[in-house]
Amino acid sequence: MVPASPAPDEDGAAEDDGADRDTDADAGGDDTEQGPSSVEFFSDPTAQIRQWIADNEGDGRRQLLVDRIASQPQGIWFTHDRDVTARVRDVTSAAAAAGEVPVLVSYLLPGRDCGGASSGGVPDMASYDASMADFAAGLGGDPAVIVLEPDSIALADCLSADQRDARFAALNRAAEAIHEANPRAAVYFDGGHSNWHSPADMASRLAAAGVLENGDGIATNIANFRATGSETTYAKQVLAELGEERLRAVVDTSRNGNGPLGDEWCDPAGRRLGQTPTTETGDPVIAAYLWIKPPGEADGCAAEAGAFSPDLAFELAGGN
């Protein structure tokens, strides 16, 4: 379900064999196998932590952040729609040249955080459709993991019934556009986390949003702190409720090394890094553990939402 790393050709670029999504095992066509252990995920050279490291050579926290966080591949978030095609293409072309698989996170929906610390997104659904078409246009033809709109399904309770229907329909269209543009992309819908909605409720929402038609699976624990064991159990329960054997799950383990601090979600103190990104999960239903939320990028309490905080990163890395 997580695509295999593209094989570089003689010029260093990955070959696109044009395989169809329904039959290409790279895109999850093989229902029986775990994501291949050979997957190498892409590390973004422009990530905020790498920029901070380059600008702070004399900082005593720097080496720990290099060793523990900057060395690991992380999700690359797209939070506004300016030049989105070019920005997506920059990532996917660099990943393909390196023979690696990028993890791209679309975070563009209008009202994406129900007025919370990460509020924003494009103005309306027509703008969203256009933005996701532009997003898809930058994907190229090589394997990629797409995490589609964190919180969009689990955090839909703030919407009216009509607004929720419109959002779910837009997510379905977005996933369809991604697969039409790149059949080798794997699209994971927002699956919430184990302390939020029941598996049956979450599965019902996911089905309404089109995961059965146009999804490759679900992503859970995004930007949260729930223990990996709890998340894998929950994700498998959701998938069982959906009843579609080809679907898989990815779990965000970027900040769950110490588990949660009660129900606190906004930069809680004393958290630690979790399992480093890998497809070797030991479970055929769990396609990968990923660092979807980049460690050190704040939720909106330690710093502005999405901003890099070296203090927060240092604590997650075990520095204090």
Count CB-CB contacts under 10 A for residue 307. Answer: 13
Residues 181 and 144 sit within 8 Å (Cβ to Cβ): no
Closest CA to 27 of 189, 140, 172, 145: 145
Binding positions for substrate: 77, 193, 196, 224, 265, 293, 297
- Give CA–CA dist 132/84, Å, rounded: 9
| Contact partners, residue 317, CB within 8 Å, separation at least 6 | 64, 65, 67, 68, 69, 272, 273, 295
Closest CA to 189 of 170, 165, 163, 161: 170
Query: What is the DSSP code (8-state) at residue 26?
Result: G
Binding positions: 77, 193, 196, 224, 265, 293, 297
The set of catalytic residues is: 113, 151, 299
**Rg for the chain, CA atoms, rounded:** 18
Give me the helices (H) in the chain, please: 48-55, 62-65, 84-98, 125-137, 161-181, 199-208, 211-214, 228-242, 310-316
- Give CA–CA dist 1/3, Å, rounded: 6
End-to-end CA distance of the chain: 37
Could you tell me the CA-to-CA distances from 300 to 3, 152, 158, 183, 255 in Å, in that order? Answer: 32, 18, 20, 35, 15
Could you tell me the CA-to-CA distances from 306 to 76, 132, 260, 277, 297 in Å, in that order? Answer: 11, 21, 20, 20, 5
